[in-house]
Amino acid sequence: MSTPNLVDALGALIRRDTRLVVRHRGELANPVMFFVIVVSLFPFGVGSDPEQLARIGPGIIWVGALLATLLALEGLFRSDFEDGTLEQLVLGIHPLSVLVLAKVFVHWCATGLPLLVATPLLAMLLNMDPDVQVVLLASLALGTPTLSLIGAVGMALTVGIRRGGLLLTLLVLPLYIPVLIFGASVVLAAQAGLPTAGHFYALGAMAVLALALAPVAAGAALRISLN
């Protein structure tokens, strides 16, 4: 039997993870429901003044998206670690960093895309202008993959630890802060009529850096965790 090339291996891995997503779609709905509930509760706590909600809305939505992404990280490698699939990936002949990138991509499609779909409705709830909503969606589309890539490194380091959720939070949350700052500030700049290009450049630079380094770091962390 011939050894499958990297493209075939990536296709098989993506199809497998997609089937698992469909099979356990109830579990993957939890981060989205958490996101919707957190953002929806803020008007009850801070008041229903439309101007105030519009002013703090970007920060609320970005914090909710960050926490929802953090909540979803547990499912990235945990099931593969428990059933032995992760060990087979580590021992395989294909670059582990590329396989990790494929898994992160499927995971983001299952968790990050639903957050983007729910965002316009929540933005309207917070009385945000349509033009500002477009900037918010663009910042989330650029920032949430970065959050998933960074989270993959933390999850790879803690995958072998039982109840490692707290440690995972402590590892990745400081790295999430720059994404949160620039993601929320670009929307605030749009609200104030200020240029947003610089903020998007910063988000793009962090996304490119995470795309280049996070899969390699996650692959190395998985090897360490399985030894």
For 138-166, write each residue's pLDDT tens digit. Answer: 999 999 999 999 999 998 888 877 766 77
Alpha-carbon 81 to chain mean position:
20
Cα separation, 190 vs 130, whole angstroms: 11
Least confident of 18-27, 143-152, 195-204: 18-27
pLDDT category at 1 given cuts 50, 70, 90 is very low
Is residue 215's pLDDT more than 60? yes
The pTM of the full predicted model, rounded to 2 decimals, is: 0.90
DSSP run (H or E) holding 39: helix 25-46
- Of 142, 139, 111, 147, nearest to 123 (Cα)? 139
